[in-house]
Structure 1
Amino acid sequence: MTDHQRCPVTLPHRLDPGGANQHGVNAGLREHGAAVPIVLPGEVSAYAVVRHEELEEFLGDPAVAKDSCHFAALHAGELPANWPLTAFATVQGMTTADGDEHRRLRGLVTKAFTPRRVEALRPRVRERTEQLLDQLADTASAAPDGIVDLREHFALPLPLGVICELLGVDPTHEKRLHELSHDIVSTAATPQRAKAATQEMYGILSQVAADRRAAPGGDLTSALIAAKEEDGDRLSEEELAATLLLMIIAGHETNLHLITNAVRALSGHRDQLALVLSGAVGWDAVVEETLRYDSPVSFFPFRYPTTDVTVGDTVIPRGAPVLASYTAAGRDPLAYGPDADQFDITRETDVRNLAFSHGAHYCLGAPLARLESTIALEMLYARFPDLTPAVPEAELPPHPSFIGNSTHTLPVRLTGGDEAR
């Protein structure tokens, strides 16, 4: 499918757990209005906000909460047993807290992501990137056809390694933590698999916390254990484990998709790649346009109106679960013009993309994500300017989730050859 094509949808729309054709579906949903009724796995009714202006307003609305105490169907016992999305609603941490509780939890983490602290990570990110590029070249050289999965061997280990090092997680846990993260955010996973993955990940991270408590270091986990507010309040054991889980998942899944999506977009727009390689356009522009054009997060759960809320022409009832569709908002022609579905790193706009959310729950890790992805892309193409996809874009399998947005693999040739388009 091309960027111009849309997928006609009927309402309520059933979200595909496999994450197929997200942009085509989004185009069809936007035609129905700013907010639309949807059906989640398990036949759970919900809503999605799909237009930029209304989504920005919704994310900043004080009448909209994150705490699942406002989730009407949950407390009425109307959700199916072993519902696969339960953890997104009930996990205890920043993503499901409001007001003073949210400020308390966020305040204990914020200091790790100040611009100065993030900038201090630049040399280490560059060092890790250089090491991975060496390994990438070796892997491609060892392959009979010279093809290497850029997603598996570069886009994944860079952000995963950085966030694990930041948290003081032993590198031996990295592979398993990604596998568990994948099962947790994959809406195509069975409820039993998602639940088991969540429990195992909590177990690993609880042990990490115990190790850091016994032998504190200069890592963020040790700092979180020691951190306390002015009144002496600290993170509880459950809050600490939930915070680590959130940071591991968000700290690598988002950038895994962002780097993957940027390479895919540049591969399909060689003229724009030439612009950035010539220095006419900066790599930061590539990152920002990718965040808008192909957001790494698609339908993100959950928010709940604490009173009936009108979004566009749709009244969303109190207590209904609502998903924020960042991919749909990113290509909204009402916000970005008639060419909103075109990738253009020279785009001039005053409209800020919502890929890292908005309001009180704006992503704390956004500065680190931007730093990592900018360095990754710049160094990748400096080493391999002739990098080309090994299979056509249309043949890449989607990442199996309607929460994350990317492809499941990205086979490439590092030294050019016949480009697959």
Structure 2
Amino acid sequence: MALRALGPAARVELPGGVPAWSVTDPGLVRRLLVHPQVSKDAHQHWPAFIDGDVSADWPLRIWVDIRTVQTAYGYDHGRLRRPLVPAFAARRVRALAPWIEKTADALLNDLAGAASAAPDGVVDLRTHFTSRLPWLTVTTLVGLPEAMHDGFQAVNDTVFTTDLTAERAAANSAEAARLLADLLELKTEHPGDDVTSALLVAHREGALSERELADSIWMMLGAGYGTTAGMLGHAVVNLLAHPSQRELAVSGQVGWDQVIEETLRHQAPVANFMMRFPTEDLHDEPTGLTFARGDALVINYAAACRDPGVHGSDADRFDITRPTAREHVAFGYGAHYCLGAELARLEGRIALPALFSRHPGLELAVAPERLDPLPSLISNGHREIPVRLERNRE
């Protein structure tokens, strides 16, 4: 709200004293996402990065340093996106539904067991369900063996954390390289019908460099896990905090797809996306703003999705009956629309009704305002979601 008050885009200072624009207007966001002279490649189009003005230990550096579809421009964007597309084809996503249903059911069994074992009946829903389901789903797509899950998840959980020390970040990078080498060796010897095997084929054919291969796998794990976990967590918390909204959903008066869209709008899973850079001076006629060549642009999805001009004066309120709920940019726009958007929606359509059907007495164990957010400028979620599966009778 404060940034929106400063206009469609406002000058901000990122951690480490890095100057940037925070873009909050949804119309401007869409125009920048499809503009042919706006790049995501810091290696080509961010002078501060190219000239060495951005320190090696800058806490957000990984988000511009990686070589994936998320940081590619022009031809390279299509080249890096192409090997990933088959994994998210509509038919393949739909085929995952029975597996997701079975997995959600098993996780809910485990959740009930954990709650029964807890002396006070309080259990962390994030650990046992809202983050666990997306993690198991994306690791299945990537082809990550179960024996490697814990190691990869421990490293992956730090990717969205933007307050790590330089020493911790270096240690994580070394561990990530070790884990990935083991995975690539395994998949080279035993390929499967998974994203890692497909990326290895593209690498052998010369379509991906070794760095792009490694970064793409980590990108898949991070994007497919943290964002969906945030979406599921916010949906549950908001429904528990708003009993009348919850009743509309569980009674079927409002569909779960609408719950998901309002959650995405109200709590964009990616709060801020790092970064984009004009390849030449760029004047935006509708807003009157001019961005200089090489300016760093942060797409502020959290603010853009709550724009009062689109969603009304109560845009900051969670309302699953909102007629404009689907008019958000939480998954991006145009050629940069999230490949995994429909998979995330499918997970939500399965996980949320399963949870509330199994546990109609579900309640938060703390007030919503006491939930701690993830320590990240990028990922929008909770550290923990303590709940009771049955209403406290005290």
Question: Into which bin does the TM-score normalised by the smaller protein fall?
Answer: over 0.9
**C-alpha distance 198-228 of structure 1, shift in aligned 2 (>3 A):** closer
Code of the residue aligned with 2:381 in structure 1: it is: S
Structure-1 separation of matches of 2:381 and 2:226: 10
Asked whether the 8 Å contact 2:265–2:325 carries over to 1, the reply is no
Structure-2 separation of matches of 1:361 and 1:256: 21
**C-alpha distance 228-394 of structure 1, shift in aligned 2 (>3 A):** closer
Structure-2 separation of matches of 1:183 and 1:406: 14
Partner of 1:268: 241
Quote the offset at 1:307 in angstroms: 1.5
Code of the residue aligned with 1:41 in structure 2: it is: P
Taking the TM superposition and a 5 Å limit, the aligned residue runs for 1:130-145 are 130-145=105-120
Single out whichever of 175-184 and 237-246 deviates more from structure 2: 175-184
Structure-2 separation of matches of 1:222 and 1:380: 33
Structure-2 separation of matches of 1:228 and 1:174: 24
Q: What is the aligned counterpart of 1:50 among 21, 24, 30?
A: 24
Partner of 1:175: 150
SS class of match (1:28): coil
SS class of match (2:328): coil
Structure-1 separation of matches of 2:104 and 2:127: 14
- CA deviation string 1:69-112 (max 9, x = no partner): 10111112212341122221121121111111111111111011
Single out whichever of 48-57 and 303-312 deviates more from structure 2: 303-312
Asked whether the 8 Å contact 2:83–2:198 carries over to 1, the reply is no
Quote the offset at 1:287 in angstroms: 0.6
Partner of 2:86: 111
Q: What is the aligned counterpart of 1:204 among 179, 187, 192?
A: 179
Runs of 4+ more than 4 Å apart = none
- CA deviation string 1:16-48 (max 9, x = no partner): xxxxxxxxxxx0110000101111111111111
Taking the TM superposition and a 5 Å limit, the aligned residue runs for 1:89-128 are 89-128=64-103
Code of the residue aligned with 1:390 in structure 2: it is: A
CA-atom RMSD in angstroms: 1.8
**C-alpha distance 313-170 of structure 1, shift in aligned 2 (>3 A):** same
Quote the offset at 1:374 in angstroms: 1.7
Taking the TM superposition and a 5 Å limit, the aligned residue runs for 1:10-25 are none
Code of the residue aligned with 2:225 in structure 1: it is: H
Asked whether the 8 Å contact 2:270–2:379 carries over to 1, the reply is yes
Partner of 2:378: 403
Partner of 1:279: 252
- The TM-score with structure 1 as length reference comes to 0.89
Structure-2 separation of matches of 1:195 and 1:418: 49
Quote the offset at 1:182 in angstroms: 2.3
Q: What is the aligned counterpart of 2:60 among 62, 85, 88?
A: 85
Structure-2 separation of matches of 1:165 and 1:95: 21
Taking the TM superposition and a 5 Å limit, the aligned residue runs for 1:18-417 are 27-68=1-42, 69-227=44-202, 233-311=206-284, 312-349=287-324, 352-417=327-392
Single out whichever of 349-358 and 30-39 deviates more from structure 2: 349-358
SS class of match (1:367): helix
Asked whether the 8 Å contact 1:297–1:403 carries over to 2, the reply is yes
Quote the offset at 1:273 in angstroms: 1.0
Structure-2 separation of matches of 1:195 and 1:33: 38
SS class of match (1:145): coil
Code of the residue aligned with 2:172 in structure 1: it is: A
- CA deviation string 1:241-279 (max 9, x = no partner): 111110000010001111110011101111111111111
- CA deviation string 1:282-332 (max 9, x = no partner): 111111100000111101101111122245343322112111111101111
Q: What count of residue pairs does the alignment treat as equivalent?
A: 391
Quote the offset at 1:227 in angstroms: 4.6
Single out whichever of 400-409 and 171-180 deviates more from structure 2: 171-180
Quote the offset at 1:226 in angstroms: 2.7
Structure-2 separation of matches of 1:62 and 1:43: 28
Asked whether the 8 Å contact 1:304–1:319 carries over to 2, the reply is yes
Quote the offset at 1:62 in angstroms: 1.3
- The TM-score with structure 2 as length reference comes to 0.95
Unaligned runs of 5+ in 2: none
Unaligned runs of 5+ in 1: 1-26
Quote the offset at 1:190 in angstroms: 1.6
